[in-house]
Amino acid sequence: MPPTGVFRRFLTAISFAFISLTLALVAGCSKSTNVDDEETDLMPLVHNTGLDSGDVAYADGNPLSQYSIEVLIPTLEFRGVTVPR
């Protein structure tokens, strides 16, 4: 049975952290991050200080929360992260 609810969100956050750490170890390269197709919260990406200018976070097609759209995406964009919509 696939994980659901809080446990699924926990696994997603861990996945973001692992991907972010892996990408952060690649020095001098732009990074891109694909967001899970059912993710509504982009807070793990905002907490990832390794995402900054020149990086891309692909979140288009996800049912993002209003908070993610109005606050978190602009926060990432302010840091220089491109977030295609």
pTM of the complete model: 0.60
| Per-residue pLDDT reduced to its tens digit, 3-34 | 666 666 665 666 665 555 554 544 444 556 65
The kind and range of the H/E element at 34 are strand 32-34
DSSP lists the bridge partners of residue 58 as 34
CB contact at 8 A, 23 and 57: no
85: in domain: no
DSSP lists the bridge partners of residue 56 as 32, 82
| Per-residue pLDDT reduced to its tens digit, 46-64 | 998 888 898 888 888 778 8
Q: Which of 9, 19, 31 lies closest to 76 in space, CA to CA?
A: 31
52: in domain: yes
83: in domain: no
Q: What is the mean pLDDT of residues 35-44?
A: 72
Measured CA to CA, the distance from residue 26 to residue 22 in angstroms comes to 7
Number of domains composing the chain = 1
